Amino acid sequence: MSTSQSTTAVLETKQHFEILDGLRGIAAFAVVVFHFMEWIFTDPSQNFIGHGFLAVDFFFCLSGFVIGYAYDDRIVKMGLRNFFISRIIRLHPLVIAGSILGLLAFLFDPFGGHLELYSTGKIILTFICSLFLIPLPVIADRGFNLFSFNAPAWSLFWEYIANIVYAFVLYRISRSFLLVLTIVAAIAICYVGYNSGNLLGGWSGPTLWDGCARISYSFLAGLLIYRSNWIIKNKLGFGGLTFLLLLAFIMPFSEWNWISEPLVVLLYFPLLISLGAGAVLKPRLKKACIFSGKISYPLYMTHYAVLWMFGNYYTNYKPDTTQLTLIVITSVVLLVGFAYLVMVIYDIPVRNYLNDKRKKNIVSN
């Protein structure tokens, strides 16, 4: 086999853990519902999915497991350049799409906003920073998010950082040293929970380093699960694991969050990853898991433009419970449909084009 053929073979995507993919979709759906409810319930203790934000920590843990599985045995062969290109192709098309949608929502929101407070230069600079995942929490109308035009991008910023650290450091280290780093990161998570009273931070300037603690522990834990082969064979299936995952998001919101949330992140989510990797998928649920996994990232990265408009509508018009229920249910369904269209019309074709072009360049060289 020639060098170019060998490199191309190394770049091929590995088989997926389909139940874990399906759980990623459930977590993305939970985030969307949580973001709607966040506007409606100013008192988090009244929010039935008040811990939906912990889905991000589940994403981080799953990411560590998947990155280890996908690249530990081939990153040396593919090289750092190809690793980073692979990750950019996988992640960045939707970073761009989310930024564009967020900008359009900011400029043309029919229910509110104060464009007159922001110069054209400031809007353009914020948009450019959003495209390149450069934190710039300067837009008051966007809650001073790190990424004003697509709030969920804060987690992608840390995902990129984790990928960089993996490529330069983590894939080289022993399992023992990885365990030590995971323990240190666990201490950091406990400190954040105690200091802040919860693990909700990471999305704003003042809580930037909370996000660092959250990605550090969960990514390391996921990687440790893979390298330790802590896979628990079980018959819970997709349905059983979905139920267990949702329990984490709907647990009561209380004054004990500083204890309960770290416990979920430190122990419960890694356990679910181990169970998900070892669970048996019933054939009739295979398509549902595959769809759930595929739609998860497009849904996560495109939904928040609508959330700002919903928030302005809700604040200005205060719809009654019946109207609100209809609006939220309809919006969630439409957002899933829109995410599917973005995936089929934009994300998959762009990624296929870029991957094909890269493989052709490898063969020609």
Q: pLDDT band at 7, cuts 50/70/90?
A: low
Q: pLDDT band at 170, cuts 50/70/90?
A: very high
Question: Which pLDDT belongs to residue 12?
Answer: 61
CA angle 303, 155, 142 (to 5 degrees): 55
Judged against a pLDDT cut of 80, whether residue 364 lies above it is answered with no
> Percent of the chain beyond pLDDT 90?
90
178-234 confidence digits (pLDDT tens): 999 999 999 999 999 999 999 999 999 999 999 999 999 999 999 999 999 999 999
Question: Which pLDDT belongs to residue 13?
Answer: 63
Q: pLDDT band at 16, cuts 50/70/90?
A: confident
Question: Which pLDDT belongs to residue 49?
Answer: 96
Judged against a pLDDT cut of 60, whether residue 304 lies above it is answered with yes
**Ramachandran class of 143: left when φ > 0, alpha when ψ lies in -120 to 50, beta otherwise:** left
Judged against a pLDDT cut of 70, whether residue 11 lies above it is answered with no
Q: pLDDT band at 19, cuts 50/70/90?
A: very high
Buried b (16+ CB within 10 A) or exposed e, 13-33: eeebbbbbbbbbbbbbbbbbb
Buried b (16+ CB within 10 A) or exposed e, 217-236: bbbbbbbbbbbeebbeeeeb
76-106 confidence digits (pLDDT tens): 999 999 999 999 999 999 999 999 999 999 9
146-167 confidence digits (pLDDT tens): 999 999 999 999 999 999 999 9
Question: Which pLDDT belongs to residue 361?
Answer: 82
Q: pLDDT band at 112, cuts 50/70/90?
A: confident
Q: Which amino acid is at 250?
A: I
Question: Which pLDDT belongs to residue 51?
Answer: 97
**DSSP label at residue 205:** S
Name the average pLDDT for the chain.
94
Q: Which two tokens stand for residue 106?
A: 């900011």
* Residue 107 contacts residue 127 (beta carbons within 8 Å): no
CA gap 29, 241 in Å, rounded = 15
Question: Which pLDDT belongs to residue 122?
Answer: 96
